Each structure stands twice: as structure tokens, then as C-alpha cells.
């Protein structure tokens, strides 16, 4: 049984190529579909951050990985399952990123630090509430920390 999801909008601006690193200072605009009322964004600017849910639509569905692989193909890192990494070529091709809200105007939201390229379909937006972050201490493997070293900066 599948679910048919209709994008609520698109990413406009920002990068046009999916480069791996240095996303932190990239600004882009999320433009809502014209069928959605502007008041769907009422009060959003009282939050500093938003979670953006999007589809990596440029990933060829035949290249989706369902098992394990080296993150970024790097043999120095262990083979880990697709659900133990955040790679694009994953079942359902969903990406989720928490980014800063710069401004909101009409049906547009300018965000900073969204790692999705120009044209990316957006499925949902959720305000970041600190209570929805981890409620206990976070632990992660060394490979993940190494991979993320240059991701934002």
C-alpha cells in the first residue's frame, strides 16, 4: 500500500548542484504552492528554526540502496545500513534538515543552511521545538562525526 504525497512547495535559489559540504551559509527560499493559504505560515517567525522535509528527486530510483554501504563510498568508514546513515539514495528518498528561518513573507520563507538544491520538492515544514530534540544524551559513531566535519562549514 503506497501513499500519494503532493509537494506543498519547492526550494528556489540556493545551490543548483548537490555538493557534499559547506552548506551552512547557503540561503534559499521555500515557496509554497499557490493553492495553500498564506496564513499556513502565520506565527512561524516566532520560531528560530524549521524542519524541512523534502524529496531528493534528482536521485534515480533505480540507484536507491536498501542494504549496507560505505558512507560516501569511503572505505575508511564502515559499511553501515542505509537506515544508519543519511545518504540521499535511500528508500523513499526523503531528506530532513533543521535550518534557520531568516524571513517569512507571503508564501515564501527564506532559510539558511538547507542542504537541498534549487527546484527540490518540499513535503512538509515543522517548527523546531527544543522538546522535540533528543531528551537524553546523544551518542554517535566516529565516522559520522568525521563525515560531518565540513558539512556546514
- CA–CA separation, 147 vs 78, rounded Å? 12
85 part of the interface to a second copy, by CB under 8 A: yes
Q: Judged by CB under 8 A, does residue 25 bind a second copy?
A: no
HSE value, Cβ hemisphere, 13 Å, CA-based, for 86 = 12
Q: Residues in contact with a second copy, total (CB under 8 A)? A: 72
Q: Is 7 in the site for a second copy (CB under 8 A)?
A: yes
Q: How far apart are CA 75 and CA 79, in angstroms?
A: 8
Using CB under 8 A as the binding rule, the residues of this chain from 53 to 72 that contact a second copy are 53, 55, 57, 66-68
Q: Work out how close the CB of 113 gets to a second copy at its nearest, in angstroms, rounded to a whole number.
A: 6
Asked if 96 and 90 count as a contact pair (C-beta separation under 8 A), the reply is no
Residues 134-153 that bind a second copy (CB under 8 A): 134-141, 144-145, 148, 151-152
Whole-angstrom Cα Rg for the chain? 16
Residue number with CB closer to a second copy (13 or 128): 128
Select from 9, 3, 8 the least CA-distant residue to 119: 9
Nearer to a second copy, 7 or 13 (CB): 7
Give the residue, chosen from 64, 90, 102, 118, that forms a contact with a second copy under the rule CB under 8 A: 90
**Is 12 one of the binding residues for a second copy (CB under 8 A)?**
no
Q: Is 118 in the site for a second copy (CB under 8 A)?
A: no
Q: Are 119 and 14 in contact (CB under 8 A)?
A: no
Amino acid at each position: 500500500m503506497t501513499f500519494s504525497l503532493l509537494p506543498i512547495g519547492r526550494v528556489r535559489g540556493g545551490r543548483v548542484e548537490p555538493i557534499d559540504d559547506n552548506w551552512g551559509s547557503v540561503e534559499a527560499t521555500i515557496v509554497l504552492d499557490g493553492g495553500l493559504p498564506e496564513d499556513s505560515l502565520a506565527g512561524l517567525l516566532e520560531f528560530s528554526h524549521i524542519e524541512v522535509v523534502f524529496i531528493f528527486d534528482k536521485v534515480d530510483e533505480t540507484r536507491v540502496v536498501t542494504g549496507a554501504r560505505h558512507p560516501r563510498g569511503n572505505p575508511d568508514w564502515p559499511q553501515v545500513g542505509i537506515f544508519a546513515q543519511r545518504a540521499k539514495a535511500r528508500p523513499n528518498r526523503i531528506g530532513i534538515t533543521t535550518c534557520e528561518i531568516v524571513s517569512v513573507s507571503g508564501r515564501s520563507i527564506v532559510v539558511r543552511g538547507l542542504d537541498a538544491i534549487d527546484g527540490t520538492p518540499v513535503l512538509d515544514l515543522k517548527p523546531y521545538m527544543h522538546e522535540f530534540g533528543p531528551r537524553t544524551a546523544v551518542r554517535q559513531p566516529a565516522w559520522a562525526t568525521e563525515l560531518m566535519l565540513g558539512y556546514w562549514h
